[in-house]
């Protein structure tokens, strides 16, 4: 099931990443596997547009998420964990690269907007559309490339959202296995994106029947079983509970059996269907956890879960302000859980400021892999923070979405956006209700200055596509 594709970009990467001793080919990789230390497996479970308050372990009382709650009980629950952008594509680019969207170049959505006006793309139109021509810059080093150097088998199951053309697909970007869709959303039943067939196995487009979450569950379990001798890295990216992308305007799609788990509710209500989509996904997470246990891999596997951005529509972001697309906390602060029995404390709540920028350095450290040399990373290994041994070395975080700007420095958060603006003290006002701009002008000035410095640094970064003009 492994692929050993050598693409021209890999050659470029060899020059960029001077630590690479040679091109990737199977005998060497087999040797790496053979000599690699016994390293833990890693399962990174990313959900799509999941509300901050839609997990029982985050205080939600409506959605049934017993398996994610179990993950929290057996691990660490992070309450101040952020993504780098309030929507799908750029958020995922940072997961893959450990770099701000403005640094890796993927700082807006890859999306054919005409679907908003009911336009159905023909195959010929789609072939030259943004969804086919844009992608994560091929010079970027992905987390899977880093893991490969440590002898890991890496797989993506679910939503890729980093480029649909073959050169951008996971097998060309360091992963060994791919099953899912490459664009930013599909219909759960037809696996089409506004009419365009969008399901892949490896580099080939396929069609098969089934509810997307069930298919992703099946393939995740398959990947774990096939790689149980490890070490493996599974990036399990559910599209649930994101709305479906279809022209029939049937956005909330859940199998009846999960809707029936909420008998007191209107089965046609969007919130009910959203909850059912969550519960179906949670059940799949449960099967992943059960499989790890059955295979004796529970203690040798780090499991991390987070959402790619804040909830939208019927998602509940309480007590945070705002929603997906916005730079208020409800758009960028997401629920995060981490479990590694024996290595991370169980049932612990951790309020340290952390972000998805920390994922690549952390996974590299856990895997015993060297971070890519000559590449500026925006995060650090957060494992000691998760263990409760140290404070987070992250003291600030910045966001930019088109004209919207925001910064968190210490406990202060500054937002200047179309949805609203203000200065807030998150230590007392997590709901960003009380604007301190006039009371604390010196703090406002400091945060604006920090943002300007960050923006200057991003502007001076290496030129990266697909959006930057260079």
- Which stretches of the chain bind Ca ion, using CB under 5 A? 48-49, 88, 308-309
Residue nearest to Ca ion (CB): 88
Among 241, 251, 255, 240, which Cα is nearest to 209's? 255
Which two three-digit tokens encode residue 181? 């869709």
Q: What's the rounded Cα separation, in Å, for the pair 223 and 253?
A: 26
- SS3 call for 158: strand
Q: What's the rounded Cα separation, in Å, for the pair 14 and 11?
A: 5
Closer of 95 and 171 to Ca ion (Cβ) = 95
Closer of 315 and 371 to Ca ion (Cβ) = 315
Q: Which helix (DSSP H) or strand (DSSP E) does residue 336 occupy? A: strand 333-339
The distance of closest approach from Cβ of residue 39 to Ca ion in the complex, given in angstroms and rounded to an integer, is: 30
The distance of closest approach from Cβ of residue 207 to Ca ion in the complex, given in angstroms and rounded to an integer, is: 25
Closer of 24 and 49 to Ca ion (Cβ) = 49
Closer of 298 and 329 to Ca ion (Cβ) = 329
User: Please, how many CA atoms are within 13 Å of residue 224, restricted to the half-sphere of its CB?
Assistant: 30
Closer of 70 and 164 to Ca ion (Cβ) = 164
228 within 8 A of 174, measured Cβ to Cβ: no
The distance of closest approach from Cβ of residue 89 to Ca ion in the complex, given in angstroms and rounded to an integer, is: 9
Closer of 67 and 91 to Ca ion (Cβ) = 91
The distance of closest approach from Cβ of residue 307 to Ca ion in the complex, given in angstroms and rounded to an integer, is: 7
Closer of 282 and 298 to Ca ion (Cβ) = 282
Which two three-digit tokens encode residue 468? 């930057």
Which two three-digit tokens encode residue 341? 């029995």
Q: What's the rounded Cα separation, in Å, for the pair 56 and 64?
A: 7
Q: What's the rounded Cα separation, in Å, for the pair 186 and 2?
A: 26
Which two three-digit tokens encode residue 461? 């970064």
24 within 8 A of 15, measured Cβ to Cβ: no
Handedness of CA 239, 244, 245, 251 (dihedral sign): negative
CA–CA distance from 21 to each of 10, 37, 64, 372 (Å)? 13, 18, 49, 12
415 within 8 A of 395, measured Cβ to Cβ: no
The distance of closest approach from Cβ of residue 338 to Ca ion in the complex, given in angstroms and rounded to an integer, is: 20
Which two three-digit tokens encode residue 200? 């892949």
Q: How many CB atoms lie within 10 A of CB 156?
A: 30
Closer of 109 and 150 to Ca ion (Cβ) = 109
Among 228, 278, 236, which Cα is nearest to 253's? 278
402 within 8 A of 43, measured Cβ to Cβ: no
Q: Are strands 412-417 and 420-425 parallel, antiparallel or unpaired?
A: antiparallel
The distance of closest approach from Cβ of residue 90 to Ca ion in the complex, given in angstroms and rounded to an integer, is: 10
334 within 8 A of 81, measured Cβ to Cβ: yes
Closer of 52 and 152 to Ca ion (Cβ) = 52
Closer of 137 and 308 to Ca ion (Cβ) = 308
- SS3 call for 278: helix
The distance of closest approach from Cβ of residue 301 to Ca ion in the complex, given in angstroms and rounded to an integer, is: 25
The distance of closest approach from Cβ of residue 27 to Ca ion in the complex, given in angstroms and rounded to an integer, is: 40
259 within 8 A of 276, measured Cβ to Cβ: yes
The distance of closest approach from Cβ of residue 333 to Ca ion in the complex, given in angstroms and rounded to an integer, is: 14
The distance of closest approach from Cβ of residue 186 to Ca ion in the complex, given in angstroms and rounded to an integer, is: 13
Closer of 230 and 322 to Ca ion (Cβ) = 322
The distance of closest approach from Cβ of residue 92 to Ca ion in the complex, given in angstroms and rounded to an integer, is: 8
Q: How many CB atoms lie within 10 A of CB 441?
A: 11
């Amino acid at each position: 099931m492994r692929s050993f594709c050598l693409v021209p970009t890999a050659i470029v990467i060899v020059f960029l990443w001077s630590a690479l001793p040679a091109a990737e080919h199977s005998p060497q990789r087999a040797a790496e596997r053979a000599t690699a230390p016994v390293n833990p497996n890693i399962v990174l479970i990313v959900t799509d547009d999941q509300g901050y308050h839609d997990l029982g372990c985050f205080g939600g009382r409506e959605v049934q998420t017993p398996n994610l709650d179990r993950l929290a009980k057996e691990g660490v629950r992070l309450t101040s964990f952020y993504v780098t952008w309030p929507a799908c594509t750029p958020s995922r680019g940072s997961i893959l690269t450990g770099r701000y969207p403005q640094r890796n170049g993927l700082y807006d959505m890859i999306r054919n907007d005409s679907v908003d006006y009911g336009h159905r793309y023909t195959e010929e139109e789609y072939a030259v559309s943004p969804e086919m021509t844009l992608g994560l810059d091929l010079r970027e080093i992905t987390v899977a490339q880093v893991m490969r150097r440590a002898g890991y088998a890496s797989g993506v199951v679910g939503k890729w959202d980093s480029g649909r053309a073959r050169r951008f697909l996971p097998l060309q970007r360091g992963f060994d296995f791919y099953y899912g869709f490459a664009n930013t959303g599909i219909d759960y039943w037809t696996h089409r994106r506004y009419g365009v067939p969008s399901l892949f196995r490896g580099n080939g487009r396929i069609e098969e029947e089934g509810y997307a979450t069930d298919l992703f569950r099946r393939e995740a379990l398959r990947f774990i079983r096939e790689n149980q001798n490890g070490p493996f890295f599974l990036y399990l990216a559910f599209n649930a509970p994101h709305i479906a992308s279809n022209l029939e305007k049937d956005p909330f799609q859940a199998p009846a059996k999960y809707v029936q788990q909420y008998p007191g509710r209107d089965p046609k209500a969007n919130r009910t269907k959203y909850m059912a989509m969550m519960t179906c996904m949670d059940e799949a997470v449960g099967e992943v956890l059960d499989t790890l246990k059955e295979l004796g891999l529970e203690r040798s596997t780090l499991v991390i879960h987070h959402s790619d951005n804040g909830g939208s529509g019927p998602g509940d972001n309480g007590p945070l302000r705002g929603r997906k697309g916005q730079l208020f906390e409800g758009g960028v602060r997401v629920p995060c859980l981490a479990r590694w029995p024996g290595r991370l404390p169980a049932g612990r709540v951790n309020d340290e400021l952390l972000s998805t920028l920390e994922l690549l350095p952390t996974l590299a450290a856990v895997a015993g892999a060297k971070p890519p040399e000559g590449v500026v990373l925006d995060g650090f290994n957060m494992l000691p923070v998760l263990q409760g041994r140290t404070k987070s070395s992250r003291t600030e975080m910045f966001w930019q979405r088109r004209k919207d700007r925001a910064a968190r420095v210490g406990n202060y958060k500054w937002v200047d956006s179309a949805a609203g603006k203000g200065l807030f003290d998150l230590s007392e006002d997590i709901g960003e209700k009380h604007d301190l701009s006039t009371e604390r002008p010196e703090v406002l000035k400091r945060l604006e200055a920090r943002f300007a410095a960050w923006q200057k640094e991003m502007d001076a970064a290496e030129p990266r596509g697909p959006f930057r003009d260079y």
